[in-house]
Amino acid sequence: MNAFQLYFRLIQISLLSRMQYRANFIVGLLGLIVWNLVNLGLIGILITQFTRLKDWTLWELVFLYCLWILGYSLYGLFFSHTTQMEDYLIEGTFDQFLLRPASPLIQVLGREFQYVEIADALFALTGISLAYTRLGLHWDGWRWGFFVIAVVAGAVIVLALNLLIACTAFWTGRSRGAFIVVRQFHGLVQWYPIDIFGNAFRAIVTGLLPVAFINYYPALMLLNKLDYTSSGWWLGYLSPVVAVLMVGLTASVWHFAIRRYSSSGG
Amino acid sequence: MRVFWAFARQSFQTTVIYRFDFWLRVSTILLLMYSIRWVWVALYAQRPSAFGVSLEQMVTYGVLSMAVLNLFYSFGVQYYISEQVRSGAIDLDLLKPLDFHIHMLARSAGEMLFRLFIMIIPAILCGYLFFGLQPPVTSLAGLLFAVTLLIGYLISFHLGFLLGTLSLVTLEVHSIDWAFDALMRLFSGQLVPLWLFPGVLGTLAALLPFGSLLATPLSIYTGVLRGDAILPAIALQLFWLAALALISRWLWGRVQAGIVSQGG
């Protein structure tokens, strides 16, 4: 079996076990929709006091938010359980992956398929199409292409970041705290345009933890907000490159981490 | 009381083992305080009078909210219950010679106390030093802030306990918890103060228990709620505490009889 076949076989098995919790599926869909509505509500309440946040109008902010959620849902569908790596390590489940004659990465990734994330995807697509009409956007073929690439790049950046953090558990035994930090980062960087924050913060989310490339920079390009006279305009196109770099970095850290792994038993 | 200290000690020991994790949590709090301040500064720059209070008050509200937030997310009784059910270890908890509700409260309070001293109070101090947090308007307001925050913590514990009990019915807690978490984030006034909520949302916020968690203590601290308005707010808090404690105990009693333990 090649890697892909193995992956889909594993997904199939996990879906079968998930079928036990059918009521949970409905609750899960509703839960995610409520979660998204609340997030947009929080932005909306602030905006009703004004017409805009710096240069961003309400529908531009909706677009910004939904671009993140769309990328995130793509990540979440296939990879959301990377956040559970520490449980695998602490409980010793990870030993199973190493003992079986297949790539541990494929086995970890194939462990679950988070189908409730479909709710996120639908929510985001609705939001983006509403914003598209309200803002009177007319993308040409090239922009549509970039939109698709940006969403995939966003998903890849989220995945790479989460895997990197999961890898810290190989050293520290725990990664939950790190995930909390990243989630809080998302709560700020992905909801608000980062130009409202200070320069140090912008440098961090661009260079160190490149979460601004998940939605902010591509949104600048897609919403025609790029200022071509400024020195950093090319950042709007950079997210696919960042995604590729992140994958390379993550893959090498992962291989290094695995070699270091010693079981906790259990 | 001995039980509470035992659990506080336990959570201290876990934290000592996972030091890196602890520092990350602390840096999250600092990061949140930093950024909420920027959000308000950016918003106030446009129309200083739009929010009914001064920028200093609003920054104080936001920074303090981020500093004390960990009080409500410290233990996660709903996750504990659902995890115990999933692994089957709930049997052992039920066999313990200790009322389950009290047991959970002890665990949660132990962790909360620990967090209070090691994270929250230092975070508040950092707030004063670096993030423009102002002292309470009067010393009485400061005292009432502490009292109402404690009541708020107890309400949040009971909401979590109720959620955990419900998870015994649905056998999964994560997705309900997402929705719950979102509602709490919105209606507790954690990010955006409740007095800014328009129309229906404002009414809804007044009717739900979440405002008693955070909005009440924060509004007292910043002086938005003062004088005669304080007493009714505290009465409402106590009402929610009593109601939620009774409902969650009653529901637990009913559900417990039919527990399906999955592992074992």
pLDDT at residue A266, rounded to an integer = 45
Give SS3 for A114.
Answer: coil
Chain A contact residues (CB < 8 Å to B): 21, 23-24, 27-28, 30-32, 34-35, 37-39, 41-42, 45-46, 48-50, 52-54, 116, 168, 171-178, 180-181, 184-185, 188, 192, 196-198, 201
| pLDDT confidence of residue A264 | 61
User: Which among A231, A237, A185, A192 has a CA at the least distance from the CA of A56?
Assistant: A192
Alpha-carbon distances, residue B114 vs A156, A242, B105 (angstroms): 38, 40, 14
Q: B139 to chain A, minimum CA–CA distance in Å?
A: 31
What residues contact A242, with CB distance under 8 A and at least 6 apart? A153, A157, A210, A213
What pLDDT does B262 receive? 58
Mean pLDDT for chain B overall: 85
Interchain proximity A180–B47, CB inside 8 Å? no
Whether the predicted pLDDT of B261 surpasses 70: no
B18: which chain A residues are within 8 Å (Cβ-Cβ)?
A: 172-174, 177
Please compute the mean of the pLDDT values over residues B137-158 and round it to a whole number.
Answer: 94
Is the confidence at residue B203, as pLDDT, over 50? yes
Name the CA radius of gyration of chain B, rounded. Answer: 19
From chain B, the residues in CB contact with A42 under 8 A are: 185-186, 191-192
pLDDT at residue A50, as a whole number: 67
Whether A184 sits inside 8 A of B50 (CB atoms) is no
pLDDT at B61: 94
Residue of B nearest to A45 (CA): B197
Q: Per-residue pLDDT averaged across B81-110, rounded?
A: 81
Query: Per-residue pLDDT for chain A (266 aa), expressed as one digit of tens each?
Result: 688 888 888 888 887 777 666 666 777 788 888 888 888 888 888 777 666 777 888 899 999 999 999 999 999 888 888 777 777 777 777 788 888 888 887 887 787 777 778 888 999 999 999 999 999 999 999 999 999 999 999 999 999 988 888 887 777 767 766 777 777 777 777 888 888 887 888 888 888 888 899 999 999 999 988 888 888 888 889 999 999 999 999 989 988 888 877 766 54
Contact B201 A45 (CB under 8 A): yes
Q: Residue B171: what pLDDT?
A: 62
pLDDT at res. B2: 76
Angle subtended at Cα A121 by Cα A120 and Cα A122, rounded to the nearest 5 degrees: 95
Question: A24, B170: Cβ pair inside 8 Å?
Answer: yes
pLDDT tens digits, one per residue of B156-175? 999 999 988 887 776 666 77
Give me the residue from B32, B170, B197 closest to A184, CB to CB: B32
By the CB < 8 Å criterion, does B261 face chain A?
Answer: no
Interface of B with A in 187-246 (CB under 8 A): 191-192, 196-198, 201
Residue-level pLDDT at B138: 92
Q: What is the ipTM of this complex?
A: 0.72
Helix axis angle, A58-79 to A117-134, nearest 10° = 160
A18: chain B residues, CB-CB within 8 Å: none
Eight-state DSSP code of residue A235: G
- Residues of chain A with Cβ-Cβ distance to B31 below 8 Å are 181, 184-185, 188
Locate the chain B residue with the closest alpha carbon to A47: B43
- Residue B85: CB partners within 8 Å, gap ≥ 6? B167, B168, B171, B259, B260, B261, B262
Of B43, B51, B185, the CB nearest to A53: B43
**Do the Cβ atoms of B43 and A50 come within 8 Å?**
yes
Share of chain B above pLDDT 90, in %: 34
Check residue A184 and give its pLDDT: 72
pTM recorded for the entire structure: 0.81
Residue B221 has pLDDT above 50, yes or no: yes
Number of Cβ pairs < 8 A linking chain A and chain B: 118
Contact B27/A181, CB-based, under 8 Å? yes
Interchain contact B61–A (C-beta under 8 A): no
Q: Comparing B18 with B194, which gets the higher pLDDT? A: B194
Residues β-bridged to residue A223: none
pLDDT band at B150; cut points 50, 70, 90: very high
